[in-house]
Amino acid sequence: MTSIADLRKSYERAELDEKASHADPLQQFDQWLKEAISGEVPEPNAMTLATVGSDLRPSTRVVLVKGYDARGIVWYTNYESRKGHELAGNPYAALQFHWVELERVVRIEGVVEKVSDEESDAYFHSRPLDSRIGAWASPQSEVISGRSVLVTNAAKYAAQFLLQPPRPPHWGGYRLKPDNWQFWQGRRSRLHDRLRYTLDSDGGWVRERLAP
């Protein structure tokens, strides 16, 4: 069996040059995400969300990006979950996309706010029925006695709401408003390309190369 310390990978697929990259990080992200989708990367919309609780302990989990524009990056979840409580106490968070097959990483940092009720309603009602019932059935991050709790809750809410479950008051969207982006492209000999975009006081973006 190979030692985990001996595992190696040579990164040789692409490069990230200042002259070839976009001046606006959102455009760079849009390009890379579309390339991940067209390249059939598994779950290209999956991102790691990092938050910090009142005890200063960080925590991470994987969520799915559901929208992005000049206002920020959007995902949806249970407001009463661990991440919801942590964001309520500390609204700063970090996101990370890792597209392994493309040898690319995108890191995004910023402040988080809830999206409007109208946005949350619109997205909730676009979801499959089972997912809408699931939002009611799962007391996310709470201790439960077994899977039967979820199955029983799902059956109860399916019978109660039939085909028209409303959006739960504890469920909705968050938007991270970026003030820092990093784009990482793997290169040979561990001399990776790494560009950082930082928001300046005038609302523009400063692009800089960082040592990998």
**CA 97 – CA 108 distance, rounded (Å):** 9
Helical axes 147-161 vs 129-137, angle rounded to 10°: 120
Q: Are 177 and 167 in contact (CB under 8 A)?
A: no
Q: What is the pTM of this model?
A: 0.94
Model confidence pLDDT, tens digit, residues 127-174: 999 999 999 999 999 999 999 999 999 999 999 999 999 999 999 999
Q: Is 65 a residue whose pLDDT tops 90?
A: yes
User: From the candidates 190, 196, 207, 209, which is the catalytic residue?
Assistant: 190
Distance CA 140, CA 62 (A): 14
- The identity of residue 194, as a single letter, is R
The 10s digit of each residue's pLDDT in 136-145 is 999 999 999 9
Q: Average pLDDT of the chain? A: 96
Q: Are 48 and 96 in contact (CB under 8 A)?
A: yes
**190 an active-site residue?**
yes
Quick check: 157 and 165 in contact, CB under 8 A?
Answer: yes
**Alpha helices per DSSP H over the chain:** 25-38, 82-89, 117-124, 129-137, 147-161
Token code pair at residue 58 = 């960080």
Helix (H/G/I), strand (E/B), else coil: 80: coil
